[in-house]
Amino acid sequence: MSKFTENIELDARIVFAAMRGGIDGVMEFAFNHRQHFKTANDAVERAKWLKTQSEDYITKVSEKAAKIELMK
C-alpha cells in the first residue's frame, strides 16, 4: 500500500516545478506548500512515486501541467 494517493492538481504542480527548476524547483515547491509536505524530501518521494504510476494517470498529470504552464 502506497502512502500517496492520486491528486492530479498536486502532481501537476510538482511536474511544473520540476520542469522549471529540477530538484531545486521541487524542493522550493515543497517549502512553499507546507500544507502538503512536512519536508522537501516528502515532495521528492512523491515525485519518485509519480514515476511509477500508470501511463493514463501520467497523461492526465501532464495535461494539467501544460494548462498550468499556459496560465503562467
The reply to whether 65 falls in a domain is yes
The reply to whether 35 falls in a domain is yes
d(CA 65, CA 71): 10
pLDDT for residue 36: 85
Q: Number of folded domains in the chain? A: 1
Could you tell me the pTM of the whole model? 0.81
The reply to whether 3 falls in a domain is no
The reply to whether 2 falls in a domain is no
pLDDT for residue 72: 67
What burial class does residue 44 get, using C-beta atoms within 10 Å of its C-beta: 0-12 exposed, 13-18 middle, 19+ buried? middle
Q: Residue 22 region, left (φ>0) first, then alpha (ψ -120 to 50), else beta?
A: left
What residue numbers bound the domain in which 59 lies? 8-71
The reply to whether 60 falls in a domain is yes
Q: Which amino acid is at 59?
A: T
DSSP state of 37: -
The reply to whether 1 falls in a domain is no
At 8-67, the pLDDT tens digits run 999 999 998 988 899 899 889 888 888 888 888 888 899 889 989 999 999 999 999 898
